[in-house]
Structure 1
Amino acid sequence: MNRALILALGTAICAVPFVASAADDAKPAPAKTASAAKAPMAADGHPDLSGYWSNATLTREVRPASLGTKSVYTAEEARKMEAEVTQEVADGNKPTDPNSGVEGGKEDPKKLRPEFAAAGGDVGGYNRGWLDPGSSVMRVRGEPRTSFLTTPDGQVPKRLASAQTGGGGFGRGGMGSFDNPENRSLGERCILGFGRNAGPPMLPNGFYNNNYEFVQTPDSVAIVVEMVHDTRIIRLNAQHRTDGVRPWMGDSVGHWEGKTLVVETTNIPQSQAYNGAWKNLKVTERFTRDGDNRVLYQYTIDDPTTWAKPWGGEYEFYKLQGIVYEYACHEGNYALPGMLGGARRQEQEAAAKAAGKPGAE
């Protein structure tokens, strides 16, 4: 499975474009009004959210369990983490040694970040310079946060005993997941990005290309998601669809509440289940232009059939020092035929071995 993921990621990373340098558990608190008042304004009188933004960060959605209820790092802790990643980048960009004994000349996976190790190393053998998972702790209102989630322990709340499991976009496990392309993940098929970049909720993927372009009009807001070229359309002052269709990113409608764009998304498909919830899931997002260089992003998760009460999190998009180019990932890339062909070959070899044919080993 790791090999398959490496192949898919390797295919996608070849298309990496320009990369720039980079209510506690219910409804998040509103943004600071004084700060939001300084935000650029659009021609229709609403705050201007348009532009290029990024959410790459060292901070993850779920807090490390060892931190308990600690929601904010000290300034010294944040500086130390950021210094360590600076050294990590420097070490990772050194020429790889093909005689090191480590597969692909890569660093020992035990020393890698968990998300890198899960992919078998530095994403298919690429040097650290190809990756941009974030180099700074996420600040929200100036506070270096230990997690996006604003639940007391920074963890996903316990599910109701009656809650059913949902699904997800990562296919089945084992060899059966290589039976056909539809069994592979949406990311490998280049339909949606790895992780939840497009959302909702919109979350960084921990690897690279966590960049966005917001385009705003009086009737709609479009969010162009670099990973993997998705465009999410938010219809303003509209009604949710009633035809039962569940678009890849759900059905998003929005409206302005003062300085904040409020977006409600329903009709989320099973393939985009979030922590097991999808059928009755409603995600409410709040976008507030918090000054010239930041957009405060808050999200609330509500599914009464899965959790006892709504919960959520928050972080801040920061201005991207550059623009978003096309991420040329498309279904039918060479990795998928290779993986499926490899699976057929393994099946043939297994059948030959079972039959006791010579040369089956």
Structure 2
Amino acid sequence: MHRALILALGTALCAVPIALTGPAAAQPKAATAPYKAGRDADGHPDLSGFWSNATLTPEQRPATLGDRAVYTPAEVAKLEGQVAKEVEEGNKPTDPNSGAEGGKADPKTLRPEFAAAGGDVGGYNRGWLDPGSAVMRVHGEPRTSFLTTANGQPPPRKPSAPAPGGFPRGLGSFDNPESRSLGERCIMGFGRNAGPPMLPNGFYNNNYQFLQTKDAFVIEVEMVHDTRIVHLNAQHRTDGERPWMGDSIGHWEGDTLVVETTNIPPTQAYRGSWKNLKVTERFTRVGKSRVLYQYTLDDPTLWEKPWGGEYEFAPLQGVIYEYACHEGNYALPGMLAGARAQEKEASAKTGAAATKASR
């Protein structure tokens, strides 16, 4: 089922050679003077354009690195060098005799996140993937995690914190369409690309377009064409509705756009938090090719104090085209039909066994 699940979450991909992409593929050194961004018609820094947050750096730091927030040059070279080898292999022609799946990667060299997704991500070999090829630099430092807590890990939950909600995320249940994940149903992208907070998914399509006007800041997300509209200098809604991606209100603090999001729906909970969660995001143009993104998570019922992380967006080498969510969502009725067939088969066996026992 791993393969069927990931294929259901797939996208229309173009068969083109892989490029080494990701934030800070060639980041400039920190400038001696603060960067002065171009201005929009209202005098605010121009954040508009096409951006990407694809990167090798995970949100959560590998436990083996402890409190070390920055990679050594040798570690960076090893990580980015391994991806260069993956890209080289992925750009080679596929053996036509390797099977319908188009070839499989060597399990010994397969990334843990790819293995967890069912091998070569449901049948896509490395040639179809673009998870990022560079370690994330923030202020020129190659970071080991997005999270800026001391150990790069989420803080412990408060002893009095309520248990995580049992809202369906789509895994293990085929009772009805509503129990499947938002990504499978083409409602929202899988992972947390749209957020908030906005995080790369580790596979592909970690791309965005920012548009800004006097009254709104619009974030278009390539994955499942999610679009979040941040209303500027407005008030949060009080009608109890929890729209997809929450209720985002923004304002400018100097050269930084500050976005506060509340009213997040339960199916978009972040680490079990949604009802009382407030996500504060800060967008700052810190270079010609860099937008610093910082996020803070605040839920006093779950954590003792606010916490969060940061990373930098890099320019997308291209534009975003339409994302057609797995061609009309044909996989979803197929999975549900398969589950009904299995139930029918199991019921028939149970009935036959009961009849035999009664004789």
Query: Could you state the TM-score of these two structures normalised by the residue count of structure 1?
Result: 0.89
- Residues 107-122 of structure 1 mapped to structure 2, 5 A cutoff: 107-109=105-107, 111-122=109-120
Specify which of 77, 81, 92 is matched with residue 79 of structure 1. Answer: 77
CA-CA distance at 1:290 after TM superposition: 0.8
Q: Does 1:301 align with 2:297?
A: yes
Q: Does 1:335 align with 2:328?
A: no
CA-CA distance at 1:33 after TM superposition: 10
Counterpart residue number, 2:350: 354
Specify which of 208, 218, 221 is matched with residue 217 of structure 2. Answer: 221
Where 2:86 maps in the other structure, the secondary structure is helix
Deviations 1:98-136 (A, max 9, x none): 777998631244532222112211222122121100000
Cα distance 1:210–1:337, how it changes in 2: closer, same or farther (>3 A)? Answer: same
Q: Does 1:191 align with 2:187?
A: yes
- Residues 169-318 of structure 1 mapped to structure 2, 5 A cutoff: 171=169, 173-174=171-172, 177-318=173-314
Output the CA distance in 2 between the equivalents of 1:222 and 1:148.
23
Specify which of 312, 319, 323 is matched with residue 323 of structure 1. Answer: 319
Cα distance 1:138–1:283, how it changes in 2: closer, same or farther (>3 A)? Answer: same
Counterpart residue number, 1:27: none
RMSD: 2.5
Where 1:203 maps in the other structure, the secondary structure is coil
Counterpart residue number, 2:7: 7
Output the CA distance in 2 between the equivalents of 1:103 and 1:20.
22
CA contact (8 A) 1:15 1:329 kept: no
CA-CA distance at 1:283 after TM superposition: 0.4
Counterpart residue number, 1:162: 160
The percentage of aligned residue pairs carrying the same residue is 74
Cα distance 1:169–1:131, how it changes in 2: closer, same or farther (>3 A)? Answer: farther
CA contact (8 A) 1:49 1:289 kept: yes
CA-CA distance at 1:228 after TM superposition: 1.0
Output the CA distance in 2 between the equivalents of 1:89 and 1:57.
14
Cα distance 1:169–1:56, how it changes in 2: closer, same or farther (>3 A)? Answer: farther
Q: Which has the higher contact order (CA 8 A, sep 6+)?
A: 1
Output the CA distance in 2 between the equivalents of 1:253 and 1:328.
29
CA contact (8 A) 2:105 2:125 kept: no
Q: Which runs of 5+ in 2 are unaligned?
A: 22-29, 354-359
CA contact (8 A) 1:15 1:328 kept: no
CA contact (8 A) 1:20 1:322 kept: no
Where 2:84 maps in the other structure, the secondary structure is helix
Cα distance 1:169–1:58, how it changes in 2: closer, same or farther (>3 A)? Answer: farther
CA contact (8 A) 1:21 1:321 kept: no
| Large movers: runs of 4+ above 6 Å | 17-20, 98-104
Q: Which amino acid aligns with 2:291?
A: V
Q: Which amino acid aligns with 2:228?
A: R
CA contact (8 A) 2:57 2:135 kept: yes
Output the CA distance in 2 between the equivalents of 1:170 and 1:20.
37
Q: Does 1:57 align with 2:55?
A: yes
